[in-house]
Amino acid sequence: MNVLQVLTITTVAYFGIVTVWILKMEEYLENRERDRERVSERGEET
Amino acid sequence: MILQVDSTVVTWGWGFLVGYVVLMLGLGYLGYKRTDTQDDYATARGGFGFLALAFAYAATVASGSTFMGIPGMAYGMGFKAGYYAMIYPVGIYLGMLFVARITKKVGDRFGSQSVPDFLGDRYQSPVLRALAALVALFLLFYIMAQIAAAGWMFDTILGLDYGLGIWFAGGLLLLYLTAGGSHADILTDAVQGVIMVAITVLIVFMFATGWGLDGGIGAVNAALDSGQQWDTHTDPENPIFANGWVIVLLFVAHIGFTALPHLGNKFFAIKGTQYMKKFMTVAAVSGIMLPLMFLGGVLGRALGIQIENPDAIIPLLFVETMPAIVAAFLGVAILSAIISTADGLIIAVSQIFANDLYRKTYVPWKGGDPNSDRVGQRALWISRISTVIVTVAAVAAVMTPPEYLAILLWVGIGGIIAGYSGPYFVGTFREETSKTAAIVAFVVAFGVYAVIHLGPQFGLYEGWYPYNENPFASSGIGFVISCVLTYVISKFTKPLPAGHLDEVFGPERRATADGGRDETADRPRAGDDTSK
């Protein structure tokens, strides 16, 4: 493989990670935050 | 060194420069109208939508080296320079994905006004805040490097004396930054980001069509010397490209580069975390485009353009192959790259004095309230005065550039990568990360980086680390040590109080129209679907 091909694959992988992060990880982090708050609220109620 | 440019190019160049200055000052005035408080000046909190902020972020990341140093590197080394040009933004923008949301959220919740301040608030640690601020002071040398680049640009393209050029650049920065602070910084950077992307698209088009050659990209490659062609991946003689390992460390180090305060403070300015995905998308795409400028350096070499200083290859490529008006416009694009990084750095350094050291360290130490109006007004004055002092000092210092400027520059950049990374990145994902772990990791990783890179570079002793000449390979090691230590030490030390962690990791309050927070809307409501 030449340099341009390596860089093209790297860039495609980069966009793949960006896409997965934006579509999946951000949702996961938001949900984790909400779960945490629910647990915290339950703790306060009891 | 002045390029042999046509007088038409110079005339157009001055015309564009006047237009550029008027535009920057106009945007600076708009920034001034939006700046009433210290928080406005330091962060422009909640003041921008995703599009403007994404272009501003991309412009801030891409410094003068994007249009000069990187194409110059490609002119000298050929295609392998792409490993630097295209790998560093991958690191930075992946780092951005990791920390943007929490920086914004915690910043809004605790009123953090800088990355050192964020670390202090995240870990409830004035010590960590002060340490981070002190290391960030070395960013003054980064500002100096940008000012020197501006002077060189004026000298090379417009024939203006270097000494006058640096004061011109410093004066322009002073005018809009002291008035408009972060609002002016981001407004001007957003416009400059668009200009830079436009020039990059043109360069990519020229490369892809083999501009001036018959046969497209293949002809470009064929016209290069064998060591510069695309089948040569490394150069054992060059510490930056010695082997695959140092290229991996270059990537690792640039994840940590995201922690630099002039980048991290941009996240505070977005209207709310609900815009974060759009911001990340536009920034990730536009940011990775700009370093494609390296292709211009490759094309310049393939065209056989002879030049004494490789950093001027893009200007000369335009002068030799483009109509005068386009070549002249390039000067504005280069100036945009330089100014858009310098202004963010100046604001970030001014906040070390106004916020990190005065408002959040000195005032609480004396028993005062850092959130009082009086302290806020005083901090705003310190912000403006320190902006003036930092800018004037940077310009004065590069009238005769210091001997160790390149090394001093890396005390700040590498020190931040090594010191901040563990507390910033590990602390983003692991709630259990302790204050002790953050402080120890900061100090030890900075110390290791200083020992393996800074000591040998200052000539204090012989370096034993094989890549000690390479700042990326050295700060990449610092990044790894910082993250590992933060993680491991947290396993054995006391975590922060649960109530504080609830504040840090709880869900974002919904943003109001003015960019503030609706405190009543922060709890999940019955019927909210959180199962996606």
Note the pLDDT tens digit of each residue in B117-172. 999 999 999 999 999 999 999 999 999 999 998 888 888 777 888 899 999 999 99
pLDDT computed for residue A45 by the predictor: 67
Average pLDDT over residues B293-311: 91
User: Is the Cβ–Cβ distance between B79 and B71 less than 8 Å?
Assistant: no
Q: Give which of A8, A12, A14, A32 to mutate to test B binding, by max B Cβ within 10 Å.
A: A14
Give me Rg for the CA atoms of chain B.
23
Q: Do A37 and B232 touch (CB under 8 A)?
A: no
Q: What DSSP character marks residue B114?
A: S
User: Is the Cβ–Cβ distance between A21 and A29 less than 8 Å?
Assistant: no
What are the structure tokens assigned to B424, written together? Answer: 């910033």
Question: A-chain residues within 8 Å CB-CB of B231?
Answer: 2-3
pLDDT computed for residue B3 by the predictor: 58
pLDDT computed for residue B253 by the predictor: 96
Q: How far apart are CA B231 and CA B168, in angstroms?
A: 44
Task: Give the gap in angstroms from C-alpha B228 to the nearest C-alpha of chain A.
Answer: 10
Task: Give the gap in angstroms from C-alpha B266 to the nearest C-alpha of chain A.
Answer: 19
Q: How would you class A13 by CB atoms within 10 Å of its CB: exposed for 0-12, middle for 13-18, buried for 19 or more?
A: exposed
3-state SS class at B510: strand
pLDDT computed for residue B515 by the predictor: 44
Options 1.10.10.10, 1.20.1730.10, 1.10.1060.10, 1.10.3720.10; which CATH number does B7-512 get? 1.20.1730.10
pLDDT bucket at B324, cuts 50 / 70 / 90: confident
Note the pLDDT tens digit of each residue in B193-226. 998 899 999 999 999 998 888 888 999 999 999 9
More confident residue, B321 or B1: B321
Would you say how long chain B is, in residues?
A: 532
Q: How far apart are CA B332 and CA B66, in angstroms?
A: 14
Question: A-chain residues within 8 Å CB-CB of B281?
Answer: 18, 22
Of the listed ranges A18-27, B370-379, B479-488, B499-508, the one predicted with least confidence: B499-508
Residue B65 in this model has a pLDDT that exceeds 80: yes
pLDDT bucket at A46, cuts 50 / 70 / 90: low
Average pLDDT over residues B476-489: 97
pTM: 0.90
User: Is the Cβ–Cβ distance between B395 and B166 less than 8 Å?
Assistant: yes
User: Beta partners for B517?
Assistant: B511
Q: Do A31 and B530 touch (CB under 8 A)?
A: yes
pLDDT computed for residue B510 by the predictor: 47
User: Beta partners for B510?
Assistant: B518
pLDDT bucket at B527, cuts 50 / 70 / 90: very low
ipTM over 0.90: no
Q: Do A22 and B281 touch (CB under 8 A)?
A: yes
User: Is the Cβ–Cβ distance between B398 and B68 less than 8 Å?
Assistant: no
User: Is the Cβ–Cβ distance between B333 and B199 less than 8 Å?
Assistant: yes
pLDDT bucket at B520, cuts 50 / 70 / 90: very low
Count of beta carbons in the 10 Å neighbourhood of residue B72? 22
Residue with structure tokens 């012989």?
B462
Residue B522 in this model has a pLDDT that exceeds 60: no
Question: B-chain residues within 8 Å CB-CB of A25?
Answer: 97
Nearest Cα to B9, choosing from B328, B374, B276?
B328
Q: Do B94 and A7 touch (CB under 8 A)?
A: no
pLDDT computed for residue B13 by the predictor: 85
